[in-house]
Amino acid sequence: MSDRTKQLQDLDRRYVWHPFTQMSDWEAEPPIVIERGEGSWLIDTDGNRYLDGVASMWTNVHGHCRKELNEALQAQVDKLEHSTLLGLAGEQSILLAEQLVAITPEGMDKVFYSDNGSTAVEVGLKMAFQYQQHRGAVNRKKFITFRHAYHGDTLGAVSVGGIDAYHEIFRPLLFTTIQAPAPYCYRCEMGENDPATCGMSCLKELGRLMAEHGHEVAGVVMEPLVQGAGGMIVHPAGFLKGVRDLCNIHGILLILDEVATGFGRTGSMFACQREGVTPDIMALSKGITAGYLPLAATMTTRAVYDAFLGQYRELKSFFHGHTFTGNPLACAVALASLELFKKDNLLVNLAAKIAYLEERLVGMSQLSHVGNVRSCGMVGGIELVRERSTREAYPWEEKVGVQVCQEARRHGLFLRPLGNIIVIFPPLAITPDELTFLCDVVEAAIRTVTEG
Ligand SMILES: *Cc1c(COP(=O)(O)O)cnc(C)c1O
C-alpha cells in the first residue's frame, strides 16, 4: 500500500462521515480509496480494480468515464456552468425537458427539475397535495404508501417510506400515512406463497383501504415493479396496473418513484411502460445523468399543471425550488446519455444480458443457504437464509450479507448488500464477460461464506 493511500485513508477516517454507515466499524478498517473509473471498473489509489457491481449506488448506465459523456460535459463547461431557472430559462434544461417528455409515457407533459431522488419525490408529494387543494378536494391531505417502500431520506420522503430499520427513529418528525401491504411473496404478510395470489391479496387490501379512506387521499406513492432499498422486492406482473386502476376508481393520483427503475434498469426505458401504465406524477433521478452529476426531474400531466394556473394574487404558484435546479452541466450530460442509449442500441442489447443474469440467479437459488432469488431487468436480489427449508433468516447481527460482499471484494467485485440480501445492480453497459465474472464471484463468495 502506497504512502499516499495510507495518508488518504487517515484523512478519510479523520474527516469524512459516510452515509448509512456505522462509523465505528468504518474506522476499524482501512477504506478502499477510489481514484479512477474505466467502463464497469473502479480503480483504487494502488491500482487495484473492482467491478462496480452496484453501478455506483444505482446510477451508472454507460460505464465510467465514457468518452462521449466526458466530451459533452467539457463542451458545456466551456459555455456555461450554471444559471438559475428562477426567472431565466436555460438552453440545456429546455432541450432535456423536450426529450424527457418524448421518452416517458404519453401524458407526461411537464418537467420540474431538482437535484436528487429525495427531492424529486418531495416535489411530487407537494405537487399532488397542492393540486388537490386547488381543485377543491380540500380533504385529500393523506398519502397511501407501501410497506418496504423507500423514497429517499429527507423528511417528506421518509414519511412515505416503509423500512422500519431506517425510518422508525424519525417517526415523531413525520407526517402519518396510510400504509398498504406490498407483495413480498417470499415473506408474505397476507399468508400467500404464490406471487400472483399474493399480488391479488395486496390489491384487494389496497382497494379496501381506498374504499375506506379514498376521500381523504391525495395520492398513492410507489416504486413500480421493484421495491429497491426494501430488498429488491419484485412485484408480480399486473400489480402496478392494478394499482393504477384502483387510483382511477377513487380519484387518487398515482405518483411513481422511478428513481431507481428509470433509464433502462428494468429492460424498458421506464418500469411503468412494461405494464402500459401512465402515472400522474413521476420522479426520476439516479440514472438520468448516467451516474455523472446530481439531477432529478418530477414529471406530471397537463391536468395537474393546469390546476396551478391563475392570477398572481390567487397564490396558486407552486412554491418550491432548489438552487441548482436545471443545472446546465447535468442537463448536458443527461442529453448525451440519451443519445448513447440510441447509438449503443442499449435497450435491445440488454435483453441477452438480462436473460443470462436471470439464468444464473436461478442456478444460485439451488445453493444451500439461498432462500430466494429475484430479478427484474438488470436488477438481482439473492436472499440468504440460515435454513432453506423453513426460510429461517440469519440473525441480522451476524452480517452475513456484509461478509459475502467482503469476500467478493477480495476477488475484485464491489457489492453492497441490503441486510442479508445480496444486490446485483451493475452498469447497464457491462459486457457479457464482465457479467459472467460478476455472477461467478457472487456465487463463489456465497458458497465460501455460507458453506465454508
Ligand atoms: C435512491 C432512491 C431515492 C432517493 O434518491 P437520493 O438521490 O438518494 O435522494 C428515492 N427513491 C428510490 C426508489 C431510490 O432508489
- pLDDT recorded at residue 168: 82
Instruction: Quickly name the fold that domain 32-62+345-451 has.
Output: Aspartate Aminotransferase, domain 1 (3.90.1150)
Determine the atom of ligand 1 nearest the C-alpha atom of 296: 7
**Mind listing the pLDDT tens digit for each residue in 295-347?**
999 999 999 999 999 999 999 999 999 999 999 999 999 999 999 999 999 99
Angle at 15 between CA 9 and CA 18, to 5 degrees: 80
Pairing status of strand 217-222 against strand 296-300: unpaired
Residues linked to residue 49 through DSSP beta bridges, in sequence order: 43
CA distance 95 to 97: 6
d(CA 427, CA 52): 7
CA distance 169 to 160: 14
Evaluated on CA atoms 333, 262, 174, 318, the torsion sign reads positive
For the whole model, what pTM was predicted?
A: 0.97
Give the pLDDT confidence of 334-343 residue by residue, as tens digits: 999 999 999 9
Q: Which pLDDT tens digit goes with each residue over 244-262? A: 999 999 999 999 999 999 9
Q: Are 367 and 214 in contact (CB under 8 A)?
A: no
Q: Which residue has the cell 439516479?
A: 286
Cα–Cα distance measured from residue 164 to residue 169, given in angstroms and rounded to the nearest whole number: 8
pLDDT bracket for residue 191 (50, 70, 90): low
Q: Which of 57, 60, 118 to mutate to test the pocket of ligand 1 (most atoms within 8 A of CB)?
A: 118
User: What distance in angstroms lies between residue 444's CA and the mean position of ligand 1's atoms?
Assistant: 30
Where are the CATH 3.90.1150.10 domain residues in the chain? 32-62+345-451
Residue nearest ligand 1's atom 11 by CA = 151
CA 390 to centroid of ligand 1, rounded, Å: 33
Condensed to tens digits (0 to 9), the pLDDT of residues 27-74 reads 999 999 999 999 999 999 999 999 999 999 999 999 999 999 999 999
* 121 within ligand 1 shell (Cβ under 6 A): yes
Residue 186 has pLDDT above 80, yes or no: no
Task: Give the bridge partners for 39, in sequence order.
Answer: 64
Q: Where do the CATH 3.40.640.10 domains begin and end in the chain?
A: 71-343
Please tell me the CATH code under which domain 71-343 is placed: 3.40.640.10
CA distance 339 to 227: 28
CA of 353 to the centre of ligand 1 (A): 25
Q: Which of 314, 450, 332, 328 is nearest to 394 (CA)?
A: 450
CA distance 4 to 345: 41
Phi, psi of 235 (to 5 degrees): -85, 150
